[in-house]
């Protein structure tokens, strides 16, 4: 029963779209109809600038942290905690409050992964930052982080099979949400940081 409650709470918290709310408040526009159409920190930066984007990023990361803390407070197993994190990401991607059209869940996933696999998320995060700095592709760095964290956890960590399974489900969802980025990467059309047509 506590697992179900945790999952519902996680989804509802994840469904809070800070990029939508902040952009609507400042510019009176729907962020999903401008820029890349993605309700996330990167598109917020393109539409509103660095300051609001940083705020959105931190708030979206906080969603992942909060739901994990709630799940642990309920005393759930590690896979139940990870599943709660997954539901927060699902909420971000498909928010009930905003017609089920949200973002790609990277920031919320960062919050979840840093809570359930802190060391491996840190290593993957550093690698992702280096890749972004070298290539100027945010999507490549994001996808590297999303894949490398559970891979390192599976190889070097001591996690249950259930938690690893859920972690890879999180990665699979993230790759699905980045399918247009993958298409553009494979066809050499992905935009880099600084590009006027940047879409992430």
Looking at residue 131, what is its pLDDT? 93
DSSP label of 187: T
Q: What is the pLDDT of residue 199?
A: 45
In angstroms, the CA 122 to CA 116 distance is 11
> Tokens representing 13?
């918290």
Is residue 36 scored above 80 in pLDDT?
Answer: no
Mean pLDDT for 185-200 is: 67
Q: Kindly report the pTM of this predicted structure.
A: 0.91
Span 80-94, pLDDT tens digits: 999 999 999 999 999
Quick check: 75 pLDDT over 50?
yes
pLDDT tens sequence across 102-150: 999 999 999 999 999 999 999 999 999 999 999 888 889 999 999 999 9
């Amino acid at each position: 029963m506590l697992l179900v409650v945790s999952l519902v709470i996680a989804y509802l918290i994840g469904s809070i779209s800070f990029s939508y709310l902040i952009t609507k408040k400042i510019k009176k526009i729907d962020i999903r109809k401008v820029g890349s159409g993605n309700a996330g920190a990167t598109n917020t930066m393109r539409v509103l600038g660095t300051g609001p984007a940083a705020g959105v990023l931190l708030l979206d990361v906080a969603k992942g942290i909060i739901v994990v803390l709630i799940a642990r407070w309920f005393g759930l197993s590690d896979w139940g905690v990870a599943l709660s994190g997954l539901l927060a990401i699902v909420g971000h991607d498909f928010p009930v409050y905003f017609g089920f059209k949200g973002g790609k869940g990277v920031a919320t996933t960062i919050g979840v992964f840093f809570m359930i696999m802190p060391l491996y998320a840190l290593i993957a995060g550093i690698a992702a930052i280096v890749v972004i700095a070298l290539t100027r592709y945010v999507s490549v760095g994001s996808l590297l982080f999303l894949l490398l964290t559970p891979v390192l956890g599976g190889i070097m960590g001591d996690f249950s099979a259930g938690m690893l399974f859920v972690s890879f489900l999180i990665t699979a969802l993230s790759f699905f949400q980045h399918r247009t980025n993958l298409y553009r990467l494979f066809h050499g059309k992905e935009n880099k940081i600084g590009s006027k047509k940047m879409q992430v």
